[in-house]
Amino acid sequence: MEEREKLHGLTTSTHSKNSPVFVMLPLDTIAIGGNLNKPRAMNASLMALKSAGVEGVMVDCWWGLVEKDGPLKYNWEGYDELVKMVQENGLKLQVVMSFHQCGGNVGDSCSIPLPPWVLEEISKNPDLVYTDRSGRRNPEYISLGCDQLPEIQVGMGPCGELRYPSYPESNGTWRFPGIGEFQCYDKYMKASLAASAHAVGNESWGRGGPHDSGQYNQFPEETEFFKRDGTWSNEYGQFFLEWYSRKLLEHGDRILTAAEGIYKETGAKLSGKVAGIHWHYNTRSHAAELTAGYYNTRNRDGYLPIARMFARRGVVFNFTCMEMRDGEQPQSANCSPEGLVRQVKNATRMVGVELAGENALERYDRGGYGQVLSTSRADTGNGLSAFTYLRLNKRLFEPENWRNLVEFVKNMSEGGNTRLPECDSSRTDLYVRFVKHSHGNKTAGVAVV
């Protein structure tokens, strides 16, 4: 670890900063029909969050709902109602422009496919979506290889994150802690690879991705490409990984450039989300990060280029797994979420880009909140400008969980230097009692959204 810290140039600072807390709303906040789901329950939940000192909420704006009926045929009715409700409750709103489908990823609790007219185009031309070496198509989003084709609108990537869909959970394709697979086998990506290989004078390098990179659920040492001194480190491996990661960076830059052009006069702050791929982080190759498009290895910092690209556009770097500890992970997976977070905090600090955070998995315990408080401070690398909690649901309003959330929000707002008393009747118990009372009448859906 000392050598890795020297490599990535980790620095230290002693100051702390206030970090406002946002809470993610349910994935199905807007119903399939385009209306606001359970409006009375939502309003009661927003009132409770406001009383707890929460800064605001985050909601996914699904492409498959807003533009469902055809190109440029928009339905904003449900979102309009939500915006007004959030405003009336004195909260702020973060909107995630979600151009991917909902369903098939960690935590997905409902299904919202891409717009029907988009799926129809994909059925006509399957190469519009990401494809792995076995020819398996992923209909969750459009391949970045199509970025410059006319009339193709794309988001940052799967789960709204700037990455390749290298570890799809749907249908059991991938399971933790598999290394994943490269996603560069649609005809557009293959054409780009062939052109890059031709440009460096080695046509053989452009005939497809690495043949020795294994399968979704293997470990690095089970493959020739990712093992300790594998192909990833030779001349061909470096060529391929530079091309693969560069394509992702170019994709992100194009999307952010377009967003900048749309939102620059509104005063809205833009952010981009990067995945916290912490498994196999303690190996030389960092295989799981490589297949996702992050060219981060024992001797190369893959997050600095992403941070620089975000900095050029003035975009907030939003990162996950802020709640995870190394000691909670299985030893066999060579995980280090804490090391990964330190590296990202340092990379964003070096280039002067704002860093925000999320938890990757649902946590309600003080240990998870305590880890977020620790990572939010600027004692190593960049401090968090804001934190978004995953997610508003029934469990959050259970008495102990609610008290823990209120204590956490207060700590974050005060730089992590204070604690709430065990019983804070002035804030916490008010809405816990309200939720309990509501279960016995027609408003049983209160806070269960």
Other Cβ atoms closer than 10 A to 99: 22
Give me the residues paired with residue 138 across strands: 130
Distance between CA atoms of residues 58 and 21, nearest Å = 10
Kindly report each contact of residues 397-401 with a partner whose C-beta sits within 8 Å and lies 24 or more positions away, as own/partner: 397/45, 397/48, 397/431, 397/432, 397/435, 397/447, 397/448, 398/364, 399/429, 399/432, 400/364, 401/364
Q: Which of 55, 323, 358, 407 is catalytic?
A: 358
CA atoms within 13 A on the CB side of 164: 31
Partners of 284 in the β-ladder: none
User: How many CB atoms neighbour CB 77 within 10 A?
Assistant: 14
Of 409, 404, 411, 402, the C-alpha closest to 436 is 402
Catalytic-residue membership of 161: yes
270 secondary structure, DSSP code: P
DSSP string, 216-242: TT--GGGSTTTSTT-GGGSHHHHHHHH
Q: At what angle do helices 399-413 and 366-376 cross, to 10 degrees?
A: 10
Backbone angles phi, psi at 147, to 5 degrees: -50, -40
CA atoms within 13 A of residue 203's CA, in its CB half-sphere: 0
Task: Say which of 67, 161, 181, 354 is annotated catalytic.
Answer: 161
Contact between 131 and 181 (Cβ < 8 Å)? no
The phi and psi torsions of 258 (rounded to 5 degrees) equal -65, -45
Alpha-carbon torsion (300, 301, 306, 308), positive or negative: negative
Is 242 marked active-site? no
Selection from 117, 72, 112 nearest residue 96 by Cα:
112
| Residue-wise DSSP of 175-205 | -TT--------SHHHHHHHHHHHHHTT-GGG
Catalytically active residues are 161, 358
